[in-house]
């Protein structure tokens, strides 16, 4: 009696090596880090200096040139394209408003409205118990949003968000008063003085609040 033919064993395929997951760049990395944030103030500084030394139109041209230079600098450093274009667009909108109104203070109007919008957004986020300080902080660091389940962190980010509300509100009050008073040079100085310094102060307050929350025992 003949035996049935033995079927050949199927070839074992080698498992493909696992590819390391590419970590998506954080918001801070897309903005170019601290150097990128500092460079974003260059168009405003250039506008103030040139406007004081000459007149409005040369100041607008110089500010646009500075904004374009910052955008090119970010692209050369192979940073994200969107922040570079959005920064250049912001300078363009500010220059267009100043050109159409014929007043240097028009250059600062978009920043004033932006501060008002951000202040309102942070205030609303606290009222709906989704503080933006936590949402943005974990977005910058590439973390998830599970922090809302921790009452300590939720409370810390609530206080941090209220600090940001104070920062944006102070900008609106001071710069709004200078805008109405048509103090163009002082308005530009206030824009710079209340920009990165207050940003750093609010950021430091956020970090300290979160660190204190992480050291506080649950239920304390």
Average pLDDT of the residues in 137-157: 80
The answer to whether residues 175 and 190 touch, using CB atoms and an 8 Å cutoff, is yes
Q: What is the pLDDT of residue 28?
A: 56
Q: What is the pLDDT of residue 214?
A: 76
**CA–CA separation, 144 and 142 (whole Å):** 7
Q: What is the pLDDT of residue 7?
A: 55
Q: Which of 28, 25, 62 is nearest to 42 (CA)?
A: 62
Using the Cα atoms of residue 56, residue 61, residue 66 and residue 67 in order, give the sign of their dihedral: positive
DSSP 160-193: HHHHHHHHHHHHHHHHHHHHHTT-HHHHHHHHHH
Q: What percent of the chain has pLDDT over 70?
A: 78
Q: What is the pLDDT of residue 22?
A: 47
**CA–CA separation, 110 and 97 (whole Å):** 9
pLDDT of 20 over the 70 cut: no
Please write the tens of the pLDDT for every residue from 169-219: 999 999 999 999 999 999 999 999 998 899 889 989 988 988 888 776 555
Q: pLDDT-derived band of residue 104, with 50, 70 and 90 as boundaries?
A: very high
pLDDT of 5 over the 80 cut: no
Mean pLDDT of the chain: 83
Please write the tens of the pLDDT for every residue from 27-64: 555 555 556 666 778 899 999 999 999 999 999 999 99
DSSP 77-121: TT--HHHHHHHHHHHHHHHHHHHHHT-GGGGGHHHHHHHHHHHHH
């Amino acid at each position: 009696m003949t035996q049935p033919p033995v079927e050949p064993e199927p070839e074992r395929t080698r498992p493909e090596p696992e590819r390391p997951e590419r970590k998506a760049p954080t918001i801070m990395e897309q903005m170019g880090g601290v150097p990128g944030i500092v460079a974003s103030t260059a168009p405003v500084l250039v506008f103030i200096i040139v406007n004081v030394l000459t007149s409005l139109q040369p100041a607008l041209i110089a500010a646009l040139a500075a904004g374009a230079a910052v955008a090119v600098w970010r692209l050369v450093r192979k940073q994200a394209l969107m922040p570079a274009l959005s920064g250049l667009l912001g300078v363009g909108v500010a220059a267009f408003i100043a050109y159409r109104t014929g007043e240097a203070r028009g250059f600062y109007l978009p920043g004033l409205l932006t501060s008002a919008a951000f202040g309102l957004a942070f205030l609303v986020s606290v009222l709906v118990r989704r503080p933006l300080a936590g949402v943005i902080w974990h977005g910058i660091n590439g973390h998830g949003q599970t922090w809302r389940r921790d009452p300590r962190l939720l409370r810390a980010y609530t206080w941090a968000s209220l600090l940001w509300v104070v920062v944006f509100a102070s900008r609106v009050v001071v710069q709004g008063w200078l805008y109405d008073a048509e103090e163009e040079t002082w308005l530009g100085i206030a824009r710079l003085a209340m920009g990165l310094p207050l940003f750093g102060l609010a950021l430091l307050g956020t970090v300290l609040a979160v660190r204190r929350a992480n050291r506080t025992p649950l239920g304390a």
